[in-house]
Chains A and B, each alone.
Chain A
Amino acid sequence: MSATAIGDGNLFRHGVPLIDGIEKVTGRARYTADLDHAGALVGRILRSPVSHGDIVRLDVAKARALKGVFAVVTGNDCPHTYGVLPVAMNEYPMARDRVRYRGEPIAAVAAVDVKTAERAIDLIELELRPLQAYYTSEEARAPGATLLHDNKPGNIEREVHHDFGDWQQGLATADLVREENISCAEVNHAQIEPHACLMDFDPITERLTVQTVSQVGYYLHLMLARCLEMDSSRIRVVKPFIGGGFGARVEVLNFEIITALLARAAAGKVLMLLSREETFLTHRARPQTDIKIRVGMRRDGRITACACEVVQRGGAYAGYGIVTILYAGALLQGLYDIPALRYDGYRVYANLPPCGAMRGHGAVDTRHAFECLLDRMARELELDPFTVRRANLLHAPTRTLNDLMVNSCGLAECLDRVEHASGWRDRVGKLPKGKGLGMACSHYVSGAAKPIHWTGEPHAVVNVRLDFDGSITALTGAADIGQGSSTMVAIAVSETLGVALDRVRVVAADSAITPKDNGAYSSRITFMVGNAAIDAAKKLKDILVEAAACKLEAHPDDIEVIGETFRVGSGAQANLPFAEVVKVALVGRGVITVSGMFTCPPDAQGGRHKGGAVGSTMGFSYAAQVVEASVDDATGLVTVEKVWTALDCGHAINPLAVEGQIQGSVWMGMGQALCEETRYVEGLPAHASLLEYRMPTIAESPPIEVHIVESHDPYGPFGAKEASEGALGGFAPALVNAIANAIGIDLDELPVTPDRVMEALIQRRRQAKLASSLKAAS
């Protein structure tokens, strides 16, 4: 209806600071632990001291009798399982009958203060009969192993076997076939804010108000209704500021349900602050993974086929496990043109904290193995690593063998950019001893095209409201967890309407006010919520143009909108300022609320094969990166000198935030590659602090040069795709390839800690010595 063009997304190309940034830098931002908790009881959790065992006796009478204790809850208080996937809910908020990992919640108390709560926990009498526990996939899968879950033979949560194209024929016709066994340690999100929640139950109205660190308020809402047997209309989920997520909070967490149970039992407010150790125990991160991968390649670098077997040690419960093992196979595709592919995936139960989703969900470890193998084969065929990638590019629009849509692909430009910026051609192989360059590519989805809970509702809804004061309020359920999603919504609305950014206020993630949103995961918000925000703003703009036309006695098609000024295109009449247009628009109807939405069409929702929905998306982001590293052969210490990254995010709605997301994801990939690793001793975490869980400090973090590539996705908001996960998976292989380039050793294990590098160096020296003595002997 409007005669003016809708914003094309170029208004904020200089980059905009976060709309909630001032609160963060002044300390005014309130995170869950900072909320007013006057009068709140203190919650504490009793956790299992053993890795696997039957609960023989659990007596809370003494704890309950302690003065100052207001509630004690156990597994008996919640007979319902909870979980993220409707088909795999096999976990209770507190163990019933059996515990399956050390640290699993068994009971909880709410008391007047910390001391009393801790004393009450000590008074709980618990007797367990230990069962055989398993800490590796191999042990858990061994014949005759005790089952963690009776309905899961072999302790396999899910097996996946996918065949696409004739992979055996593909391997047979290759000039070179190579196989590698690569393993990646388990890692953790380690977001800096420890887990916390504040649950307030009003016994008069029987309403529950929830404030927590969740990235998925909607799923939490559903699970609280299920576990507390409450009408969901009596629950309100409000998101405070959140101190990072990275996937740690994309599923409902046990302490959230436990605290709600405590609040209802105590008929009041309960604050639960988990320690850092408990935050690690809650886990839900990237599993320890073993990968056997085979690739066939022609002499020119063209891939003929790939066969890959992945074993993930998933921990004690299902969580997101099925999705993770499916992602690991599905996202072998979508980056390159692979003519045939075989995938075998095994998600294994073990007596350790449950794994879940972590940035780059499912894709990172298999991408690592694949990219390392490509490099090794390139070397053998005397091809440049860039040449091999270029020989296998996808050309959008296309569909992959497993029926994933590829609507835009800027990988070729990403390769050009990092090759040039890093001086690859002039420098590779010519650096001083101990220094090397390595490269790799990666990609990620912009939101899952098929949501986990299929309801038939749109994938995203955003409401935009305009009232008498001329302020525009965007209401979104999308959880801003630091990635800047609320800023993105503000820009999308401001840009589409042509109004000043500070006229737009964003209210996010309060179930009493904002429309339901599936949450902050799989990099869905910019793509889906951004599109819904634009849709809403377009609808509001139509109303405003119509009001201006009415006032100016013109046809809406003749109205021209320049910023916040409306006029008839000919310019014959006076300009109508925004405030005047608002007044006219509200006559006879009052406050205006429009609803925008976005839905992925069925043909975007993946193939018809079992598990085919996982990996499906409307837009893949693409990344290439080059890492320069040095290796100290006396200590095994690997230092990352510099990283060049190019990411195709379709269109950078806010280039400042895009850059920040790319740097953060590359750096997180670096942590996993260099030093991050969770280890357990008989099921006891040996890493459950920020000292033992080694993540890179500012002192060892390199410059990360970012190149933004824009392929203008046909379906993305202003052409945009995701920007915060795609680059992560390329870091580790680029580093391992750089190490190979520096010292001529291919490392097969992550992270590349000094002990692993030294081990490889010593082994090489031994082999060299043996070879020379054999030579001498002959």
Chain B
Amino acid sequence: MHAPGARLKKRLLSLRLNGCWREDAVAEGALLVDYLREVAHLTGVKTGCDGGECGACTVLVDGEAVPSCITLAVRCDGRSVETIEGMATQGRPNRLQRAFHEKLGTQCGFCTPGMIMAAEGLLRRNPTPSDGEIRTALSGNLCRCTGYVKIIEAVKAAAGTAS
């Protein structure tokens, strides 16, 4: 089966995805979230809203947390993109993933990949954030299960600042 709609103009996208360079032809208007989910099959990146509202699709672009649902894929040409799938090393979860698991920073888990990526972005630029800094950095990521209490605990545990 092929799409009967008009062909979209495509461009070659070259990016470093979770540490490995790859090239794909992507439509100029394609969103980064659709490229990651549909082309690269990285379904850890979630879609929770109709655009830029919930943060479930948060990924790191050159180390900075961005919502991939309002980012054009072609804007990432030549850049490094990291998703939740790139956080574990040889199957071993990283410190944030471990902390979110052990402290129950995740319940239904749908916001979790985006939440962890936003927290990862924070810890890279600020290894020992205060409660207030954690709250500010994660304020674009909505969670409906936890009341955020254990999310803050998890980030602090990962940063080694838990009391």
Residues of A within 8 A of B (CB): 15, 17-18, 20-31, 33-34, 39, 67-68, 112-113, 115-116, 119, 189-194, 241-246, 275-277, 481-484, 656-657, 659-660, 663-664, 666-668, 670, 689-691, 695, 697-699, 701, 703-704
By the criterion CB–CB under 8 Å, are B142 and A18 in contact? no
Cβ of A613 to closest chain B Cβ, rounded Å: 30
By the criterion CB–CB under 8 Å, are B48 and A192 in contact? yes
Q: Which residue of A lies closest to B150 (CB)?
A: A660
A sample of 12 more A-B contacts (CB under 8 A), given A244-B107, A697-B139, A698-B134, is: A24-B101, A25-B116, A27-B84, A27-B87, A39-B1, A68-B4, A191-B144, A193-B110, A194-B49, A243-B48, A276-B49, A698-B141
User: Which residues on the A side are within 8 Å of B148 (C-beta)?
Assistant: 667, 698, 701
User: Which residues on the B side are within 8 Å of A698 (C-beta)?
Assistant: 134-135, 138-139, 141, 143, 148, 151-152
By the criterion CB–CB under 8 Å, are B3 and A664 in contact? no
User: Which residues on the A side are within 8 Å of B106 (C-beta)?
Assistant: 18, 21, 24-25
Q: Which residue of B lies closest to A23 (CB)?
A: B109
Cβ of B87 to closest chain A Cβ, rounded Å: 7
- A to B CB contacts below 8 Å, 10 in the list: A25-B96, A27-B44, A29-B109, A68-B3, A192-B110, A243-B46, A482-B107, A664-B144, A689-B53, A701-B149
By the criterion CB–CB under 8 Å, are A657 and B100 in contact? no
User: Which residues on the B side are within 8 Å of A690 (C-beta)?
Assistant: 48-49, 53-54, 142
By the criterion CB–CB under 8 Å, are A663 and B3 in contact? no
Interface size on B, as a range, is 35 or more
Q: Taking the complex as formed, is B145 at the interface, i.e. its CB lies under 8 A from any CB of chain A?
A: yes
By the criterion CB–CB under 8 Å, are B49 and A699 in contact? no
Partner of A112, one of B1, B45, B141: B1
User: Which residues on the A side are within 8 Å of B68 (C-beta)?
Assistant: none
Q: A194-B49, A689-B53 are in contact. Are A115 and B110 (CB under 8 A)?
A: no
* B:44-85 near A, CB below 8 Å: 44-50, 53-54, 56, 83-85
Contact with A along B111-131 (1 / 0, CB 8 A): 111001000000000000000
Q: A25-B106, A26-B44, A68-B3 are in contact. Are A663 and B116 (CB under 8 A)?
A: no
User: Which residues on the A side are within 8 Å of B96 (C-beta)?
Assistant: 25
Cβ of A421 to closest chain B Cβ, rounded Å: 15
User: Which residues on the B side are within 8 Å of A482 (C-beta)?
Assistant: 107-110, 145
Cβ of B106 to closest chain A Cβ, rounded Å: 5
Partner of A192, one of B3, B37, B102, B143: B143
Cβ of B1 to closest chain A Cβ, rounded Å: 5
By the criterion CB–CB under 8 Å, are A663 and B150 in contact? yes
Q: Taking the complex as formed, is B147 at the interface, i.e. its CB lies under 8 A from any CB of chain A?
A: yes
Partner of A193, one of B1, B88, B108, B140: B108
Cβ of A70 to closest chain B Cβ, rounded Å: 9
Interface centre among A17, A39, A190, A666 (most CB of B within 10 A): A17
By the criterion CB–CB under 8 Å, are B150 and A26 in contact? no
User: Which residues on the B side are within 8 Å of A243 (C-beta)?
Assistant: 46, 48, 108-111
By the criterion CB–CB under 8 Å, are B146 and A192 in contact? no
By the criterion CB–CB under 8 Å, are B107 and A660 in contact? yes
Distance A87 CA – B57 CA, assembled complex (angstroms)? 42
User: Which residues on the A side are within 8 Å of B134 (C-beta)?
Assistant: 698
Q: Taking the complex as formed, is B5 at the interface, i.e. its CB lies under 8 A from any CB of chain A?
A: yes
Partner of B107, one of A22, A484, A703: A484
By the criterion CB–CB under 8 Å, are B54 and A27 in contact? no
Cβ of A31 to closest chain B Cβ, rounded Å: 6
Distance A752 CA – B111 CA, assembled complex (angstroms)? 27
By the criterion CB–CB under 8 Å, are B5 and A699 in contact? no
Distance A549 CA – B49 CA, assembled complex (angstroms)? 59
Q: A25-B116, A191-B144, A690-B49 are in contact. Are A17 and B101 (CB under 8 A)?
A: yes
Distance A668 CA – B46 CA, assembled complex (angstroms)? 22
Q: A194-B49, A697-B139, A698-B139 are in contact. Are A18 and B144 (CB under 8 A)?
A: no
Q: Taking the complex as formed, is B157 at the interface, i.e. its CB lies under 8 A from any CB of chain A?
A: no
Distance A34 CA – B102 CA, assembled complex (angstroms)? 25
Distance A24 CA – B98 CA, assembled complex (angstroms)? 11
By the criterion CB–CB under 8 Å, are A689 and B4 in contact? no
Cβ of B41 to closest chain A Cβ, rounded Å: 9
Distance A666 CA – B151 CA, assembled complex (angstroms)? 15
Partner of B53, one of A18, A244, A484, A691: A691
By the criterion CB–CB under 8 Å, are A25 and B135 in contact? no
Distance A657 CA – B102 CA, assembled complex (angstroms)? 11
By the criterion CB–CB under 8 Å, are A24 and B109 in contact? yes
By the criterion CB–CB under 8 Å, are A25 and B100 in contact? yes
User: Which residues on the A side are within 8 Å of B56 (C-beta)?
Assistant: 192
User: Which residues on the A side are within 8 Å of B2 (C-beta)?
Assistant: 112
By the criterion CB–CB under 8 Å, are B116 and A664 in contact? no
Q: Taking the complex as formed, is B136 at the interface, i.e. its CB lies under 8 A from any CB of chain A?
A: yes
Partner of B147, one of A112, A113, A190, A664: A664
Which 3 A-B residue pairs are closest in the complex by CB-CB distance? A27-B44, A482-B108, A667-B147
Cβ of A185 to closest chain B Cβ, rounded Å: 18
Q: Which residue of A lies closest to B38 (CB)?
A: A37
Partner of B144, one of A27, A190, A194, A659: A190
By the criterion CB–CB under 8 Å, are B110 and A31 in contact? yes
By the criterion CB–CB under 8 Å, are B135 and A244 in contact? no
Distance A704 CA – B83 CA, assembled complex (angstroms)? 31
User: Which residues on the B side are within 8 Å of A26 (C-beta)?
Assistant: 44, 84-85, 87-88, 93, 97
Q: Taking the complex as formed, is B31 at the interface, i.e. its CB lies under 8 A from any CB of chain A?
A: no
Distance A481 CA – B110 CA, assembled complex (angstroms)? 10
Q: Which residue of B lies closest to A22 (CB)?
A: B101
By the criterion CB–CB under 8 Å, are A275 and B50 in contact? yes
Q: Which residue of A lies closest to B141 (CB)?
A: A698
Q: Taking the complex as formed, is B30 at the interface, i.e. its CB lies under 8 A from any CB of chain A?
A: no
Q: Which residue of A lies closest to B154 (CB)?
A: A25
User: Which residues on the B side are within 8 Å of A481 (C-beta)?
Assistant: 108
Distance A15 CA – B104 CA, assembled complex (angstroms)? 10
Q: A116-B3, A663-B150 are in contact. Are A695 and B144 (CB under 8 A)?
A: yes
Q: Which residue of B lies closest to A33 (CB)?
A: B47
Distance A190 CA – B42 CA, assembled complex (angstroms)? 24
By the criterion CB–CB under 8 Å, are A27 and B85 in contact? yes
User: Which residues on the B side are within 8 Å of A241 (C-beta)?
Assistant: 108-110
Partner of A116, one of B5, B42, B87, B151: B5
Q: A17-B101, A24-B109, A691-B53 are in contact. Are A704 and B149 (CB under 8 A)?
A: yes
Q: Which residue of A lies closest to B87 (CB)?
A: A26
Q: A67-B4, A194-B49 are in contact. Are A663 and B146 (CB under 8 A)?
A: yes
Q: A667-B147, A698-B139 are in contact. Are A657 and B109 (CB under 8 A)?
A: no
User: Which residues on the B side are within 8 Å of A31 (C-beta)?
Assistant: 46, 110
Distance A33 CA – B100 CA, assembled complex (angstroms)? 23
Q: Taking the complex as formed, is B43 at the interface, i.e. its CB lies under 8 A from any CB of chain A?
A: yes
By the criterion CB–CB under 8 Å, are A699 and B135 in contact? yes
Distance A509 CA – B54 CA, assembled complex (angstroms)? 28
Distance A283 CA – B17 CA, assembled complex (angstroms)? 38
Interface centre among B37, B108, B143, B150 (most CB of A within 10 A): B108
Cβ of A641 to closest chain B Cβ, rounded Å: 13
Distance A194 CA – B135 CA, assembled complex (angstroms)? 25
By the criterion CB–CB under 8 Å, are A115 and B144 in contact? no
Distance A664 CA – B107 CA, assembled complex (angstroms)? 9
Partner of B142, one of A27, A67, A113, A697: A697
Distance A677 CA – B53 CA, assembled complex (angstroms)? 17
Distance A190 CA – B111 CA, assembled complex (angstroms)? 12
Q: Which residue of A lies closest to B112 (CB)?
A: A24
By the criterion CB–CB under 8 Å, are A192 and B101 in contact? no
Q: A193-B110, A698-B135, A699-B135 are in contact. Are A25 and B101 (CB under 8 A)?
A: yes
Cβ of B5 to closest chain A Cβ, rounded Å: 4
By the criterion CB–CB under 8 Å, are B49 and A25 in contact? no
User: Which residues on the A side are within 8 Å of B147 (C-beta)?
Assistant: 663-664, 666-668, 670, 701, 704
By the criterion CB–CB under 8 Å, are B146 and A660 in contact? yes
Distance A15 CA – B47 CA, assembled complex (angstroms)? 31
Contact with A along B27-42 (1 / 0, CB 8 A): 0000000000100001
